Structure 1
Amino acid sequence: MSTLPPSESPVTVIGLGLMGQALAKAFLANGHPTTVWNRSAGKADELVGQGAVLAESVRAAVEAGPLVVVCVSDYDAVHGLLDPVGASLAGRTLVNLTTASSTQARETAQWAEKLGVAYLDGAILALPAAIGTSEATMLYAGSQAAFGEHEATLKALSEDVTVYLGEDHGLSALYDMAVLTIMWGVLNSFLHAAALLGTANVSAGAFAGMATTAINVTADYVTAYSEQIDAGEFPATDATVNVHLGGMRHLLEESEVLGVNIDLPKFFLQVANRAVVDGDAENSYAALIKQFRKRSA
């Protein structure tokens, strides 16, 4: 374990896309000696001007310190860069902030273990501009010992929210996918709603405030429904699936009549209808979790 103060602990960042550059800037801003490498060396110019050291090779970058952070396009790129320098990685901690599936994360953890590398798989819940601020949430999963050793350094990436999820290396990727599911679900619903209102010449801007209110009200259901899901009991304390079905039919009809795409309301209706067939007509909307747990036909 390093005896250096946390603010002086060196770190290497491999991959200098927009996110990689933001990560390196945050480490530099917090006083960490930072080595960087990118296939296109010119992307490091601004960072070098801020005090970073540009490594001549991936191997030199890896050997520059005990903590290596990689953030590239995909896991094929990760292995393409790091497989040839596996011997140099041995005994160090690798933090992989590349987006991937939980399966890929677990497979990479096995690869790292064979090399003698302490491995943390991570997920970034933020845009590049938010890195290093209270707006960034960083998730990590994997070696608890490695996280404990480097936690102070990693906190440079987020002022407030640095979350360790446990030893299962796949959890950070799984949380990432879960959050993205919510994000796309909300955004697609907003876009469909804006398309509906657009048929009456109502601008998206005029609707934005009410849409935000609707999203916030819906968020209040999360706690109550999560308790029902965990308990496996779905009392209809607000509205039954049957009641929701009525509204969904109106939404589908309205979309068809107005010439708006019906794929989203049709999906809502299909899932709710399957829940009714399975006996959940008088249960709460949370009972639809049973449908989402099923493998698609």
Structure 2
Amino acid sequence: MNHRTDTSVTVIGLGLMGRALAGAFLKAGHPTTVWNRTPAKADRLVAEGARQAPTAGDALRASPLTIICLTDYQAVHELLGASEAALDGTTLVNLTSGTSAQARETARWAGKRGARYLDGAIMAVPPAIGTDEAVILHSGPQADFEAHRPTLGALGTVTHLGADHGLASLYDTAGLAMMWSVLNAWLQGTALLRTAGVDAATYAPFAQQIATGVAGWLPGYAEQIDSGSFPAEVSALETDARAMAHLIEESEAAGVNAELPRLIKAMADRSIAAGHGAEQYPVLIEEFGRPRGD
């Protein structure tokens, strides 16, 4: 992470993550101004060399780059809207979690007030901030990102996804979908095997091997989705549906919750009824890509 250390930066919002962000900037040598609604949360950072701004407006004026990490987008609007500081010429990097629609609307709101705006998502826990393992996603004008990449690099591995301000939020949410799906599948299998006296620790390495193998299929399956062609090179969806029925039967016989496999089989059955039974599993993108009931 090569970056200049003479650029000043402001961090607004000093929860666990905000304090980690400010600490990383300080550790990298950046003059760092902080502000939080509850001033006491800045005490440790001040002891480490941060400057505590008396107001949010003062914090915004203190640096050309302000990192915002609050509870939600409503808090961002309330804080910036109430601030007397002009946003002209400043760059706001909003790392507050929210939706892509909120990100795009906030970008428009900030732009009308003269600010440059990048939206972001933190794919890391607070202790990882400041290391290469911390991945920080950014979306918005690339020129604004490149102008501050050296400073943002103090936080971890920084990435620019594109000009659409909503992309960071979408990637963040898609990542959560991936995480929960893997964990839920593992919990389903664990529940099944526990009925036979197999503990979670024994099953976990096998589950990890399966998950890693399936992850290897994704690039090839992505090509099918992007081309709109789903030849059954591995297995047909109707074959997978029979395996889903087996999983449901096994779960119910063992007294294990079968809601999740039933949900997935219902989607597969709809796709098969639409004439896609002889195609490969990624054809289900058509089911995932529309609201239920359409």
Is the pair's TM-score, using the shorter chain for normalization, greater than 0.5?
A: yes
How many angstroms apart in 1 are the aligned matches of 2:12 and 2:85?
17
Residue 37 of structure 2 is aligned to residue 45 of structure 1: no
Could you report, residue by residue, the CA deviation over 1:24-80 in whole angstroms, capped at 9, with x for unpaired residues?
111111111111111122211221121111111111111111101001111001111
How many angstroms apart in 2 are the aligned matches of 1:108 and 1:29?
30
Contact kept, 8 Å, 1:87 with 1:115, in 2: the verdict is no
How many angstroms apart in 2 are the aligned matches of 1:190 and 1:49?
45
Could you report, residue by residue, the CA deviation over 1:191-213 in whole angstroms, capped at 9, with x for unpaired residues?
11111111122111111111110
Contact kept, 8 Å, 2:22 with 2:32, in 1: the verdict is yes
Q: Which residue of structure 2 lines up, in the alignment, with residue 216 of structure 1? A: 212
Contact kept, 8 Å, 1:86 with 1:115, in 2: the verdict is no
How many angstroms apart in 2 are the aligned matches of 1:202 and 1:126?
32
- Aligned-pair distance for 1:144? 2.0
Contact kept, 8 Å, 2:86 with 2:113, in 1: the verdict is no
Contact kept, 8 Å, 1:131 with 1:157, in 2: the verdict is yes
Q: CA RMSD in A?
A: 1.2
1:119 counterpart (117, 120, 133): 117
Identical counterparts, % of pairs: 49
Letter in 2 for 1:16: L
Query: What is the DSSP-based 3-state SS (H/G/I as helix, E as strand, rest coil) of the residue aligned with 2:93?
Result: strand
Q: Which residue of structure 1 lines up, in the alignment, with residue 238 of structure 2? A: 242
- Aligned-pair distance for 1:88? 2.4
Q: How many residues align?
A: 291
Q: Which residue of structure 2 lines up, in the alignment, with residue 35 of structure 1? A: 33
Could you report, residue by residue, the CA deviation over 1:147-197 in whole angstroms, capped at 9, with x for unpaired residues?
111110001111xx3111121111111111111110111111111111111
Q: CA distance change for structure 1 residues 95 and 86 in 2, over 3 Å: closer, same or farther?
A: farther
Residue 268 of structure 2 is aligned to residue 272 of structure 1: yes
Question: Within 5 A, what are the aligned runs for 1:257-296?
Answer: 257-296=253-292
Could you report, residue by residue, the CA deviation over 1:235-259 in whole angstroms, capped at 9, with x for unpaired residues?
1111110111111001111111111
Question: Within 5 A, what are the aligned runs for 1:143-182?
Answer: 143-158=141-156, 161-182=157-178
Please, what TM-score do these two structures have when normalized by structure 2? 0.96
Q: Unaligned 5+ residue runs, structure 2? A: none
2:61 counterpart (60, 63, 72): 63
2:139 counterpart (138, 141, 148): 141
2:193 counterpart (197, 203, 215): 197
Q: Which residue of structure 2 lines up, in the alignment, with residue 95 of structure 1? A: 93
Query: What is the DSSP-based 3-state SS (H/G/I as helix, E as strand, rest coil) of the residue aligned with 1:162?
Result: strand
Query: What is the DSSP-based 3-state SS (H/G/I as helix, E as strand, rest coil) of the residue aligned with 2:37?
Result: coil
- Aligned-pair distance for 1:86? 6.1
Contact kept, 8 Å, 2:10 with 2:66, in 1: the verdict is yes
